Structure formats: C-alpha cells, structure tokens
Amino acid sequence: MQQYNFDEIVNRRGTSCAKVDMLRKLYGKEDLLPLWVADMDFRTPDFIVEALKKRCDHAIFGYTFADDAYYESIGNWLHYKYGWDTRREWITYIPGIVKGIAFAVKCFTQPGDKVIIQPPVYHPFRIVPENLHREVVYNPLQLVNGRYEMDFAQLEALIDDKCKMLILCSPHNPGGVVWSKETLIRLADLCARHGILVLSDEIHAEMAYSGNRHHPFSTVSDAAASCSITFMAPSKTFNIAGIVASYAIVPDDTLRHKFYSYLHAIELSDGTIFAYIATTAAYTYGAEWLQQMREYVIDNVHFVEEYLARHIPQIKPYPPQASFLLWLDCKELGLSQKDLVDLFVNKAGLALNDGSMFGPGGEGYMRLNVGCPRSVLEEAMNNLGNAVKQL
Ligand SMILES: Cc1ncc(COP(=O)(O)O)c(C=O)c1O
C-alpha cells in the first residue's frame, strides 16, 4: 500500500493561488501563514495529476462531453460512500456549488421571496440570495451542551408564504457538524409540508470522520427526496477547487425537469474537459488517498485541540465531525471582533477567517483551516501562544 506524504511543504506563492497570493489584498500584508479559505495545502494526488497530464499530451482541447466513465464514477462513488443508488439522469455537472445555488435561487424563487439559512454558516448562502434580491431570513443554530442543533420551533414560527427555499449545509461549515438522520428527516418533513425547496450543499460530505456517517439529504425519506436538490463535488476532498468540478443530483422528476431545463436553456450544464477527467480519476482511484488524508487531518485537529487546551485554554475549538476546518471559540479572550482579528493577523501573523463573516453566532469566533502540513500548524500555534501571552 502506498503511503502518501502530507508533511510535504509545497510552495504555492506566485501560482495565482487565492489562499496565498491574495493575502495582501485581503489582510493588508503578505507575511502571514495562510490558514483561511477552504482549500488544502496538500499536493493533489498523482492519480488525478497523471490523468490530466495524459489528456494534455493529446494536445487537442476541442469541445467535449461528459462520457459514461464520468457518470459511472460518480454513481459508484455515491454507492460506495453512502449506499446511495442514483440514476444517471439525476446527475448533472454544475460550474461550482455556489453558482449552482445561484441558479437554483433564480430558477425556483422570485425577487422578494424569502430564503432561509442557518447561521453561523458558509457566507455565500447569505450573499448569493441577497445579491439576487431575495430576502434572507435566519434560523440560527443553537448551542446545546456545546453542540450545534437546529431550532425547529423557531423555524416553524419563521415560515410564512414568502419562504420558498432553505439552504442546508451538510456537513455544516464552519462547525463541521454531521447532521443525524433524525434531524434531517425532521427538517425534510417540515420543509415538504410547507412547500419549501431544500438546497443541500454536501461539499464536505466525503470528509466526515469515521464514526460520523454522512446521510445525503435526499436519501433520508421520501419527503426529503421530493423537496430537495443535492450539490456535491470532489473539489474540497481532493484539493481541486480550481478545476471546478461540482455536480447536482435531483431524484424528483418535477424538480429535476424544471432545474435541468433551466440549466440547459442557459447552457450551464456543460463542463470542461479537465473537470470530467479529474472527477473520474478522483472517484475511481481516490478511496485510499482520502482515507490517509482524513487521518492526517484528524491528527491535525487533535494537535490543535491539545495545544490550545494546554497553552491557550481561553480558545476552545468546536469538536468537528467532518472537514478540515476548525471553529475556534475565542470569546474568553474578552476581545472585540476587531481586536480579535488584530491579534491573529497583526500579532500572531496568521490569516484565518473572521468568524463574524458567517453571520449571527459567528462573533467571537475564528475559523482555522487545518488542511496543511503539521509543521505549519505547529508554527501557527506557537505564534498564537506568544501573541496571547502579550495581551
Ligand atoms: C459549504 C461550502 N459550499 C460550497 C463551497 C464552494 O464550492 P464551489 O467551489 O463548488 O462553488 C465551499 C467552499 O469553501 C463550502 O465550504
């Protein structure tokens, strides 16, 4: 069995890499450890790189289409990972999940309609509908005994005739919550009863840690399948976000017909050569790499948890069940959000995501990306420890 090396430092500077080359623009300086956007610093695995190189060697990049191997690789992967038996016609390429959400918002809602989101949550869930002149309404997650839960009573009270859509993050970013089947069934019942379409963004599904089973929303009940569109992608897991290889799955005939006719009409369901090749390679050869990468990431999470508990107990990481993102509760430091960001950026030299960007419930938090070599995290934690001592 090949042992992959996740300790390797790959210099990404000067590759138009958003995580590194946009530091000055976003944080005002370049000499920061980049631990923000959900993009890992691990080399994309060879089986993907080799598949892309092989196609490059052919040296003609004409019009292309999604071939059988592409659909079969997705179908096999969904069966292997989640026991989900899909049909080929349920699946379509989309040029990014965020764009997929935007298309669905346009296709299924009108300006002035309400879209429900569950903050603190991935910020484009708010930004996209607002930019499209939909009203975003909040069903904030509740912390119960230190764990995020959905607030069904508040959701039921919130819903009115204008509510047409709920955008679900499953697993949840930034908390890394893997929602239980019972929670998803309850959400599906409620949304189906009120005619609310659920967009289930499952981009972090493949990163559910062992012992935390991810349930694709559509599979939890007939109600869920009848009222939802699922979005998935190999892009986070295999570190190929720049290739833009997302896809949608819609089992319900009526929803699918409407959504896919819309995508087709505006020519948005055609992917690029490299998206098809990378997806097929990832899902055909990626199981072992994914297993090893996830174990490395979990060890990174444990490293940070232990470091913080020992040296900076005022910062408490939310215990993740998925993803390479760690949600740090920094409220005990007693700083304003501005001073908290200043501590990380200017005093510790670290570029994390400011928790307040994820909406209500994100104040006092910072989001740390641990998808990087351990040595980078060691340096980051030491910098943070020294900066907190100076407070
Ligand atoms: C929950 C979630 N959805 C979607 C995306 C981005 O997906 P895409 O690049 O396919 O638009 C991210 C990236 O961080 C994410 O965390």
The yes-or-no answer to whether 18-45+287-389 and 63-285 have a common fold is no
Centroid of ligand 1 to alpha carbon of 316 (angstroms):
25
Residue with tokens 């298309």: 103
The predicted pLDDT at position 228 comes to 98
The predicted pLDDT at position 335 comes to 98
Nearest-angstrom CA–CA distance, 125 and 202: 13
DSSP 289: H
Centroid of ligand 1 to alpha carbon of 95 (angstroms):
11
Pocket of ligand 1, candidates 37, 39, 92, 97: which has the most ligand atoms within 8 Å of its Cβ, to mutate? Answer: 97
Nearest-angstrom CA–CA distance, 336 and 126: 23
Transcribe 302-347 into DSSP letters.
Answer: HHHHHHHHHH-TTSEE---SBSSEEEEE-GGG---HHHHHHIIIII
Contact 225, 252 (CB under 8 A): yes
Pocket of ligand 1, candidates 40, 117, 170, 173: which has the most ligand atoms within 8 Å of its Cβ, to mutate? Answer: 173
Domain 63-285 of CATH type 3.40.640.10: yes
Query: First-to-last CA distance in the chain?
Result: 48
**Where along the chain do its domains lie?**
18-45+287-389, 63-285
pLDDT above 90 (res 155): yes
For the segment 39-51, the average pLDDT, to the nearest whole number, is: 97
For the segment 123-129, the average pLDDT, to the nearest whole number, is: 98
The predicted pLDDT at position 2 comes to 81
pLDDT above 80 (res 178): yes
For the segment 28-33, the average pLDDT, to the nearest whole number, is: 96
pLDDT above 90 (res 246): yes
Domain 18-45+287-389 of CATH type 3.90.1150.10: yes
pLDDT per residue as tens digits for the range 190-203: 999 999 999 999 99
Centroid of ligand 1 to alpha carbon of 303 (angstroms):
25
Contact 368, 352 (CB under 8 A): yes
Centroid of ligand 1 to alpha carbon of 312 (angstroms):
30
Nearest-angstrom CA–CA distance, 126 and 35: 23
Centroid of ligand 1 to alpha carbon of 235 (angstroms):
8
Ligand 1 atom closest to residue 323's alpha carbon, by position in its atom list: 16
113 CB under 6 A from ligand 1?
A: no
pLDDT per residue as tens digits for the range 267-315: 887 899 999 999 999 999 999 999 999 999 999 999 999 999 999 999 9
In this structure, which residue's CA is closest to atom 13 in ligand 1?
A: 38
The predicted pLDDT at position 270 comes to 87
Mean pLDDT of the chain: 97
